[in-house]
Amino acid sequence: MDDSKSTLCSCCDERGQVESETCRKNEPVTFLFPMYKPEIHEEPQVVYKDNQQNPSIFLYDFVIDSIDTPSGRVPIVDTNLRFKDLIGSWKVRWGIGRMNYRVIPGIYGIGRPDETSPVFVTANYKMSFDRLRKALSGLNAWILVLDTEGINVWCAAGKGRFGTDEIIRQIEKTGLKKIVSHKVIIVPQLGATGVRAHEVKARTGFKVIYGPVRADDIKIFLAEGMKAKPYMRSVSFGFVDRIVLIPMELVQSLKYIAIFFVIAFALHLTGIIEITFSHIYPFIGAVIAGCVVVPAILPWLPGRAFSLKGWILGFLWAVAVIIMNGSLNRLKVTDIFAILMLLPPISAFLSLNFTGASTYTSLSGVKKEMRIAIPAIITSVVIGLITGITGFFIRQ
Amino acid sequence: MKDYYLKNVATLLLDDNRCTSCGMCIEVCPRDVFKRNGKRVMIVDRDACMECGACMMNCPFSAVRVNAGVGCAYAVIKGAITGEEPNCCCSSSGKNTCC
Ligand code: SF4
Ligand code: SF4
């Protein structure tokens, strides 16, 4: 999506000045919903001079003030999230325009920061940034936003984008050495996967202290003298952590449901078979079991492999379908067998996909699981289809 | 509560000869895999390891080895199709996201 240009009107581009009021009035609304204003997109439109912020940084409506530092003017951001920010997070959860949800990399201030204030490093994924500024309310601090292409800290660190080189680049680009007198930066612990603390220290003089995993623990972390307690270090994957992932899983599985509907509709049109609700709901149920129910009740499902957890739930659903359909019309043995072979692998495959969103699966483990699960899933589906089709023609 | 994935698969290794027990790995590990036992730092919960690689990156003495990667089935499938190493599925081309 390249609506980035339309969000920056020409007056700011040319003069590089902040006239946010006039700018917003000229801003063409290119969005579907008129009450929306598009995010101001990354991609600096202005060439950087030495240690100068990209002027469009001051246009954000979460920028409430600015402060002059030996390294140029720095925007001060609001620590209250507004309705627009919250709507933004909601859109992200549902996978709407997710990849464009970023902020301009560089340095931002919180409160009235001075040269002794702590420096927090984060990704330029808007949600990471929002969570951090909210957690810093009431403090005086600096936020150093790395260019992670709008990806969150954990994923960007895994790709090395949130990493040693990018930290060093932003330290130099923002002139951090002139802004603060101390030599410490606080990096979220989940960024450690991409950062070599000793290398940052050797190349810039800045010592990396790993902060808590959750931004909400930052105040306690500071109060303890920048020491993260053990509970701040470990990643939790509790009920709420899993629930918020469900919309994304659901959106991704919509394509499977769509494919199924197309096939079912095509079959219906050919007149070979009359597709009714009793053909459709078992599949939708199996998809929901795999991408909604499994994430919700993950730890309580037996087994360690995700596909096994999904298969068990899918099997229970298949049994339920047999009971429900059986009470409506008589099911043949081939139908029952086909249901048992077709539905559980659908749930199994979708829960296998949830490994990516979980916070404790390892690559070696996933590879091992897939070596067994994928052939089993394919075999089961093939057998199920053959039985179902054979049964259908025998009945004719 | 600590969730566990498959047993005996993590590729994590600690070289006792190189390790100076500085404790950096304890600090960066999100899964409490290392503990200090007396003076020495050791692996106490290998099955909890999610192979994120943070310990290997941050060990100043290169004493930890692990095949780091993302535990994401989607990424493994995509890696197998494109012939690349499984990378985080949040690809920069930006359509498919799992994390
Ligand atoms: S970081 Fe390296 S040297 Fe330090 S305790 Fe861990 S393994 Fe040993
Ligand atoms: S790879 Fe990650 S989870 Fe495994 S021991 Fe190292 S830091 Fe801990």
CA dist A94 to A89, A201, A248, B9, Å? 9, 39, 5, 33
Span from the CA of A217 to the centroid of ligand 2 (angstroms): 21
pLDDT score of A335: 86
Dist. CA A129–CA A123, nearest whole Å: 7
Strands A141-146 and B64-65: unpaired
- What token pair was written down for B70? 């993302």
Span from the CA of B10 to the centroid of ligand 1 (angstroms): 18
For residue A51, is it left (φ>0), alpha (ψ between -120 and 50) or beta?
A: left
Entry pTM? 0.76
| CB A129 within 8 Å of CB A122 | yes
pLDDT score of A184: 96
Strand partners, A187: A210
- Kindly identify the ligand whose nearest atom is closest to the C-alpha of B69: 2
Ligand 2 pocket by Cβ (under 6 Å): B 12, 28-29, 31, 33, 49-55, 66
Q: Which of residues 5-24 of B touch A (CB under 8 A)?
A: 5-7, 9-11, 24
Dist. CA A161–CA A153, nearest whole Å: 9
Task: Choose among A159, A304, A360: nearest Cβ to B87.
Answer: A159
B89 in contact with ligand 1, CB cutoff 6 A: no
Dist. CA A242–CA A223, nearest whole Å: 30
pLDDT mean by block of 10 residues, chain A; 396 residues: 31 28 33 37 42 70 87 89 72 59 89 94 90 92 93 85 94 93 94 94 94 89 87 79 82 83 84 78 91 89 91 94 81 87 93 85 88 93 90 74
Residues of B in contact with A360 (CB under 8 A): 3-5, 31, 48, 50, 71
Q: Which CATH number is B13-70 given?
A: 3.30.70.20
- Interacting residues of A195 by C-beta distance below 8 A, sequence separation 6+: A157, A162, A163, A164, A167, A187, A208, B57, B58
Domain residue ranges in chain B: 13-70
Dist. CA A107–CA A299, nearest whole Å: 41
**Nearest CA to CA, how far is B56 from chain A (Å)?**
8
For residue A281, is it left (φ>0), alpha (ψ between -120 and 50) or beta?
A: alpha
**Nearest CA to CA, how far is A132 from chain B (Å)?**
19
Alpha helices in A234-332 (DSSP H): 239-243, 246-270, 277-288, 294-297, 306-328
Span from the CA of B42 to the centroid of ligand 1 (angstroms): 9
**Which one-letter amino acid corresponds to residue B88?**
C
- What token pair was written down for A272? 């070979």
Q: What is the DSSP letter of A355?
A: G
pLDDT score of B89: 46
Q: Does the pLDDT of residue B45 top 80, yes or no?
A: yes
pLDDT score of A396: 57
* Domains and their CATH numbers in chain A: 39-235 (3.40.50.11600), 240-395 (no CATH)
pLDDT bracket for residue B86 (50, 70, 90): low
